[in-house]
Structure 1
Amino acid sequence: MTTAKEMEQIQTEFKERMDEGELLNCMRCGFCLPSCPTYIESGFQESHSPRGRIALMKAVVDGKIEPDEDVERSLALCLGCRACEPVCPSGVNYGQLLEEARDIINQNKKHSLGVRLIRKTAFKELFPHQNRMRTAAGLIGLYQRSGLQAAVRKTGMLRILPEHLRTMEKVLPPVPKSKEMKNRPRILPAIGPAKKRVAFFSGCLMDTMFLPTNDATAKLLQLAGCDIVIPDDQACCGALHGHSGEKELGKELAKRNIMAFEALEADYIITNAGGCGAFLIEYDHLLKDDPEWSERAAVFVQKLKDFSSVLVELDFDKKGLKLETPQVITYQDSCHLRNVMHTSKEPRKLLKSIEGAEFREMEKADSCCGSAGIYNIVESDMSMKILDSKMRTAKATHAAVIVTANPGCLLQMKLGIEREGLSGQVRAVHLADLLLEAAESEPITDKSQHI
């Protein structure tokens, strides 16, 4: 429970740090309400809407209410999907307000010993160190390959976990061996004439648990005509830190990444994870008050692109992509890719170009799936409500393939498939993996050369 002294300090910092002009930009029009998953799934509670949360923040700043447990709960329950931003007529930067408020609360609240240990382990000791991420992922891989996973499942030991975590264990991808994760090439030449020189942001989870998807992304970029450089001194993007009230640690990681990429003279910095991309593309805001880093951050941001945007720019959709078996496919937007990086047309253009793929648009494909980083673990009840709603719209397409462009979304959709009993009938795949599958089904011919 937050003490009176902690609430007083939180209130002081709200007044000092929150952007009051941004808070006042909210006109209370309510255009955001239909786009907010927590508002809908909570039974239309105003405090669980963007408008309501902004009102709470403003009330704390004005001293009208205390930053008590109810305020903290409202902010914690937000997915941070930022679907409210594109529909806001005033252009309120809600996501930035949310992150600042969460950081103020977290930095001035005394957590229990157990919570402090978990936060320190995750935010300071694990995610900032890629060698430790590889070790942790390697242990999961060993658990999967050694027979231990099969034994644990057979004995029923997983029954001690909540149902959604048991299912999550089931849908984890096969993790590559530690040797594969360590022996990564850093220079990859274009296949064919080189058109662009790009630097690839490989990420932490993406370059361990989702290593095959990173490999697929790189291969697609090579086929599109990109020379690729992958700096080995890059770090975690910092999104988990920024979203969880560890803003200073996020800034440290941002600086490490800017240093890693700025000397490469690349045309673009490429990402293939919507959640990472959304945090990377706001490094300029994150470091806006730092004279030494603000301009360097702005240069970094100007070069950042999702891989699908570069593929479309280089006419990869005209490369004769084909699936060997005709299938109905649909696409679930990554919230951050769509709402922050403003990339939604390009993935669809690529998917619609695949011969043998019948693309069917999912109703409310732009609404959150409920993953939101670690939200599906810490706020499982709300996450599963949102996922169940998402699966109803996914099933209505009768698609055999659900495509997305973010690792968290991918696991969440796999979780939804298992919960619906559709395993073996429906699969969830990352956009890069499906595109490479289509690209390698037969030799690529450039349809743009023919009339």
Structure 2
Amino acid sequence: MSQKEIQQKFQQQMDEKELLNCMRCGFCLPSCPTYIESGQQETHSPRGRIALMKAVRDGIIEPDEDVEHSLNLCLGCRACEPVCPSGVKYGRLLEDARDIIQQHKPQSLPVKLMRRMVFKGLFPSQSRMRKAAGLLRFYQTSGLQTAARKTRMLKVLPSHLQLMEQALPKVPPQKKNRLKKYKAIGPVKKRVAFFSGCLMDTVFSSTNKATIQLLQLAGCDVIVPPIQTCCGALHGHSGEKDQAKQLAKRNIEAFEETDAEAIVMNAGGCGAFLSDYGHLLKDDPAFQKRSEAFSQKITDISTILVELKFHRHAPLALPEQVITYQDSCHLRNGMGVDKAPRVLMKAIEGVTLKEMKHADRCCGSAGIYNILQPKMSMQILDHKMMEANQTAATAIVTSNPGCQLQMAAGVKKSGHAHDMRAVHLADFLLEAVQYGKKASSS
């Protein structure tokens, strides 16, 4: 498809009203990591990218490689949205622009095959995700990982991928079958459904297990629909919006059968996308109202635990330590959740929460951004670790698997693997419950 045809797609599909909402005031600039890290280049700011989108739509510039590079260099962290006085939905504009370019630009056969394998073959299929995680576990437990490191075979990989390999968590055994319903421990306060995700339910399945246990302890009957699938966030952010819509419909149908009061998730990136299904399917008459009803039920684990006053009743305690918290961008900027995780951490006896500077600024993970844009990602991570190290914390707590992997990589990269760790909030809270029970009974 020619650049002229891409421009026509911009005219047909981009929301002109939303583009015009940007007043070019610049309030977004101090919140944008790529604007800051690029030396304040306007084309790498939210208002600069909106200006590029509008210029393409109006035929002033062509959608060339420079425009595509500017859009791809964006983390999609949406930190610009809470500070925008006009309430511009920048994340939606970015997704639409990327989708148009991705679907209508020429691609080499290897790229087409790779995208098909990842977006249509791997993530939508939980059985394939389990197999992939099983292979990773075999690599870690069979001695292959040890041999690969000792023989320096991994040196053939780019440095950022070597770092990611070192930061990978120990993958748990992959179970095909599990319970579909979990009873509350004590009086039932709420009936909830749990969104297990794809990466969370394979590589981070122990965190999912911890999340379900916390919900049970908080007084929730928990339903886990077996036919749920990937949330579609990776697809939506990477120019595969049609596939994202198909996944959204499958999830809506799966969770409608539960009749739950809330749909609980423990991954900020998933949560923000799930809570935006209403917009994603707004033009589909069969799913318009259903998607809105679904999105209204999406709740983060920290929010529901605070709502049910879990932190006031559970015996939360740990050995004395200092921790810090790295906000999940999409949890904070997409769902508006920032206080609840901090309330829970502050309630743990023996734990001191010390805020790092710019805890709300993206860590550089952003889905697969750290793989596709390694230079900018590592630059952001280096600055993030400088701020984390200044807190002298022994744990960096976060609420998203991508953030956890990125911060684990940062801990390795900064030479603090011996005295610092990256941990998910759910795992940290369950540790506090288990330690608190032992302490109270001794």
TM range (shorter): over 0.9
Q: Which residue matches 1:173?
A: 169
Matched, 1:78 2:74: yes
Please point out which of 257, 276, 283 is paired with 1:282.
276
Give the match's secondary structure for 2:436. coil
Q: Which residue matches 1:160?
A: 156
CA positional deviation for 1:444: 9.0
Please point out which of 59, 63, 66 is paired with 2:62.
66
Q: Which residue matches 1:439?
A: 433
Letter in 1 for 2:380: I
CA positional deviation for 1:182: 1.2
Kindly provide the CA deviation profile for residues 258-298 of structure 1, in whole angstroms up to 9, marking residues without a partner as x.
00001211010000000000110000000001111010000
Report matched runs for 1:126-145 at 5 Å.
Answer: 126-145=122-141
CA positional deviation for 1:320: 4.5
Q: Which residue matches 1:263?
A: 257
Kindly provide the CA deviation profile for residues 231-262 of structure 1, in whole angstroms up to 9, marking residues without a partner as x.
00000000000000000000000000000001
Q: Which residue matches 1:273?
A: 267
Q: For residues 17 and 410 of structure 1, what CA distance do their matches in structure 2 show?
A: 35
Q: For residues 321 and 354 of structure 1, what CA distance do their matches in structure 2 show?
A: 8
Matched, 1:98 2:94: yes
Q: Is the CA contact (8 Å cut-off) linking 2:319 and 2:350 kept in structure 1?
A: yes
Q: Which residue matches 1:414?
A: 408
The CA RMSD measured in Å over matched residues stands at: 1.2
CA positional deviation for 1:163: 1.4
Report matched runs for 1:8-47 at 5 Å.
Answer: 8-47=4-43
TM-score (norm 2): 0.98
Q: Which residue matches 2:180?
A: 186
Q: For residues 439 and 56 of structure 1, what CA distance do their matches in structure 2 show?
A: 50
Identity of paired residues, percent?
Answer: 64
Report matched runs for 1:31-430 at 5 Å.
Answer: 31-178=27-174, 181-430=175-424
Kindly provide the CA deviation profile for residues 166-210 of structure 1, in whole angstroms up to 9, marking residues without a partner as x.
1111111111223xx213211100011110000000000000000
Give the match's secondary structure for 1:429. strand
Q: For residues 427 and 175 of structure 1, what CA distance do their matches in structure 2 show?
A: 17
Give the match's secondary structure for 1:331. strand
Q: For residues 383 and 315 of structure 2, what CA distance do their matches in structure 1 show?
A: 32
CA positional deviation for 1:322: 3.5
CA positional deviation for 1:424: 1.4
Letter in 2 for 1:239: A
Letter in 1 for 2:271: G
Q: Is the CA contact (8 Å cut-off) linking 2:318 and 2:348 kept in structure 1?
A: no
Q: Which residue matches 1:449?
A: none
Q: For residues 47 and 217 of structure 2, what CA distance do their matches in structure 1 show?
A: 46
Give the match's secondary structure for 2:397. strand
Letter in 1 for 2:187: P
Give the match's secondary structure for 1:198. strand
Letter in 2 for 1:213: T
Q: For residues 330 and 130 of structure 1, what CA distance do their matches in structure 2 show?
A: 33
Structure 2 residues not aligned, in runs of 5+: none
Q: Is the CA contact (8 Å cut-off) linking 1:190 and 1:228 kept in structure 2?
A: yes
CA positional deviation for 1:445: 11
CA positional deviation for 1:68: 0.7
Aligned residues: 440
Q: Is the CA contact (8 Å cut-off) linking 1:332 and 1:366 kept in structure 2?
A: yes
Bigger shift: residues 181-190 or 358-367: 181-190
Q: Is the CA contact (8 Å cut-off) linking 1:321 and 1:444 kept in structure 2?
A: no
Kindly provide the CA deviation profile for residues 143-177 of structure 1, in whole angstroms up to 9, marking residues without a partner as x.
11111111111111000011121111111111122
TM-score (norm 1): 0.96
Give the match's secondary structure for 1:440. helix
Q: For residues 329 and 349 of structure 1, what CA distance do their matches in structure 2 show?
A: 13
Give the match's secondary structure for 1:242. helix
Give the match's secondary structure for 1:434. helix
Give the match's secondary structure for 2:2. helix
Q: For residues 257 and 314 of structure 2, what CA distance do their matches in structure 1 show?
A: 36
Q: Is the CA contact (8 Å cut-off) linking 1:190 and 1:222 kept in structure 2?
A: yes
Kindly provide the CA deviation profile for residues 98-152 of structure 1, in whole angstroms up to 9, marking residues without a partner as x.
0000000000011111111110000011101100000011000011111111111
Letter in 2 for 1:361: E
Q: Is the CA contact (8 Å cut-off) linking 1:128 and 1:235 kept in structure 2?
A: yes
Q: For residues 272 and 34 of structure 1, what CA distance do their matches in structure 2 show?
A: 29
Kindly provide the CA deviation profile for residues 327-368 of structure 1, in whole angstroms up to 9, marking residues without a partner as x.
101100000000001100000000000000011111110000
Q: Is the CA contact (8 Å cut-off) linking 1:320 and 1:445 kept in structure 2?
A: no
Displaced runs of 4+ in structure 1, greater than 4 A? Answer: none
